[in-house]
């Protein structure tokens, strides 16, 4: 049952990732009907057939090309489907709502069910993952973080904290203050050259989702990942010191690691230093 649920949610995540690729494009182009309307090829502008829109498989079967005009389709569409599917599976494994109970009549017979309390948490966090994936790819592609993604994510994170008591409101408040001073200071000093208002709001999302302790861990990992990628890009000459590199994807990567295994990382670190 757990395996079947994971497969189903992986497929659902891939479908949502495919949908997000359309939404992010339409938000950027300020097109009407963001959530409705036919999908079209970005090159020939012709409406795509249903067989061209099967998440993951259509991209692989068509070898990354449009099924109508044959021109190459950006790999980010495939990446969005795969990563959103993976995030949905990880979210499910972290908040596994499938229960296994031996039958009272025959203990060898297992009854499957759903823990609705955990299912509620999974649902909230799954919605949050969708918003984070939208921010991840939008910032990666366009170097912007729209308020229509970040503000709902902040409000949802606050709602999760209020309903489930984690993180605590005190920890969440401290995290927001840290982000306000740390990111706000960088924005003021650099006059927006280092970070922007979108990064500030993304930091607030991490604060309300993680609390200040795990948020600090997420920030450390984000800067480490950002530095490593920047060094690789510089050495490979794919970027220079003037190249603008979006920070949002690194923040989200650090935040997701902190969300899923942050407690284990902190426990290991504290035990290593003898605390």
In this structure, the number of other CB atoms found within 10 A of the CB of residue 244 comes to 8
Whether 102 and 121 share a structural domain: yes
Whether 127 and 178 share a structural domain: no
Between CA 268 and CA 183 the distance in angstroms is 28
Q: Which domain holds residue 135?
A: 1-142
Average pLDDT, the chain: 87
The domain boundary, picked from 122, 142, 162, lies at: 142
Is a pLDDT exceeding 80 seen at residue 7? yes
Between CA 16 and CA 81 the distance in angstroms is 7
For range 236-254, the mean pLDDT: 87
Give the model's confidence band at 12: pLDDT under 50 very low, under 70 low, under 90 confident, else very high. very high
The domain boundary, picked from 127, 142, 157, lies at: 142
For range 66-71, the mean pLDDT: 73
Report pLDDT for 199: 92
Three-state helix/strand/coil letters over the chain: CHHHHHHHHHHHHHHHHHHHHHHHHHHHCCCCCCCCCCCECCCCCCECCHHHCCCCHHHHHCCCECCCCCCECCHHHHHHHHHHHHHHHHHHHHCCCEEEEECCCCCCCEEEEECHHHHHHHHHHHHHHHHHHHHHHHHHHHCCCCHHHHHHHHHHHHHHHHHHCCCCHHHHHHHHHHHHHHHHHHHHHHCCCCCCHHHHHHHHHHHHHHHHHHHHHHHHHHHHHHHHHHHHHHHCCCCCCCCCCCCHHHHHHHHHHHHHHHHHHHHHHHHHCCC
Report pLDDT for 43: 67
Q: Which position has the higher pLDDT, 9 or 74?
A: 9
Between CA 68 and CA 38 the distance in angstroms is 15
Q: Which pair of structure tokens corresponds to residue 236?
A: 């490979």
Q: Which pair of structure tokens corresponds to residue 176?
A: 């927001």
**Digit-coded pLDDT (tens) for 150-176:** 999 999 999 989 988 889 999 999 999
Q: Which pair of structure tokens corresponds to residue 23?
A: 């939404």
Whether 102 and 236 share a structural domain: no
Please name every residue paired with 40 in a beta bridge, in sequence order, or none if there are none: 47
**Digit-coded pLDDT (tens) for 222-236:** 999 999 999 998 888
Between CA 275 and CA 268 the distance in angstroms is 10
**Digit-coded pLDDT (tens) for 119-146:** 999 999 999 999 999 999 999 999 999 9
For range 194-223, the mean pLDDT: 93
Whether 18 and 120 share a structural domain: yes
Please state the separation of Cα 8 from the chain's center in Å: 19
Report pLDDT for 194: 80
Total number of domains in the chain: 2
Between CA 163 and CA 174 the distance in angstroms is 19
Is a pLDDT exceeding 80 seen at residue 268? yes
The domain boundary, picked from 111, 142, 173, lies at: 142
Whether 170 and 98 share a structural domain: no
Whether 225 and 254 share a structural domain: yes
Whether 28 and 115 share a structural domain: yes
Whether 179 and 102 share a structural domain: no
Report pLDDT for 91: 96
**pTM: predicted TM-score of the whole model, two decimal places:** 0.89
Whether 84 and 200 share a structural domain: no
Is a pLDDT exceeding 90 seen at residue 46? no
Whether 83 and 138 share a structural domain: yes
Is a pLDDT exceeding 70 seen at residue 65? yes
Report pLDDT for 92: 96
Whether 34 and 102 share a structural domain: yes
- Measured in degrees and rounded to the nearest 5, phi and psi for residue 193 equal -80, -35
- Measured in degrees and rounded to the nearest 5, phi and psi for residue 168 equal -70, 155
Percent of the chain with pLDDT over 90: 53
Report pLDDT for 178: 95
Q: 145 Cβ partners below 8 Å, 6+ apart?
A: 135, 138, 139, 196, 198, 199, 201, 202, 248
For range 209-219, the mean pLDDT: 95
Report pLDDT for 103: 65
Between CA 118 and CA 75 the distance in angstroms is 35
Give the model's confidence band at 100: pLDDT under 50 very low, under 70 low, under 90 confident, else very high. confident
């Amino acid at each position: 049952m757990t395996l079947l649920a994971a497969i189903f949610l992986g497929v659902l995540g891939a479908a949502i990732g495919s949908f997000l690729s359309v939404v992010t494009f339409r938000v950027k182009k300020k097109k009407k009907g963001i959530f409705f309307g036919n999908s079209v090829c970005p090159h020939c502008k012709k409406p795509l057939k249903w067989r061209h829109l099967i998440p993951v498989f259509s991209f692989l079967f068509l070898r990354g090309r449009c099924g109508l005009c044959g021109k190459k389709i950006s790999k980010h569409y495939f990446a969005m489907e795969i990563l959103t599917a993976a995030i949905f599976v990880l979210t499910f494994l972290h908040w596994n709502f499938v229960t296994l109970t031996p039958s009272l009549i025959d203990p060898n017979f297992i009854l499957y069910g759903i823990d609705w309390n955990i299912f509620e948490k999974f649902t909230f966090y799954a919605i949050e993952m969708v918003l984070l994936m939208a921010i991840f790819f939008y910032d990666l592609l366009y170097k912007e973080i729209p308020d229509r993604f970040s503000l709902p994510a902040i409000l949802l994170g606050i709602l999760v904290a209020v309903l489930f008591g984690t993180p605590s409101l005190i920890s969440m408040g401290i995290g927001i203050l840290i982000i306000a001073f740390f990111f706000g200071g960088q924005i003021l000093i650099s006059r927006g050259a280092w970070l922007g208002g979108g990064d500030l709001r993304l930091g607030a999302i991490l604060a309300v989702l993680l609390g200040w302790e795990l948020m600090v861990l997420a920030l450390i990992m984000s800067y480490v990942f950002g530095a490593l990628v920047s060094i690789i890009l510089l050495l490979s000459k794919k970027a220079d010191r003037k190249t603008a590199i979006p920070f949002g994807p690194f923040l989200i990567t650090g935040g997701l690691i902190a969300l899923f295994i942050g407690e284990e990382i902190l426990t290991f670190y504290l035990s290593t230093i003898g605390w």
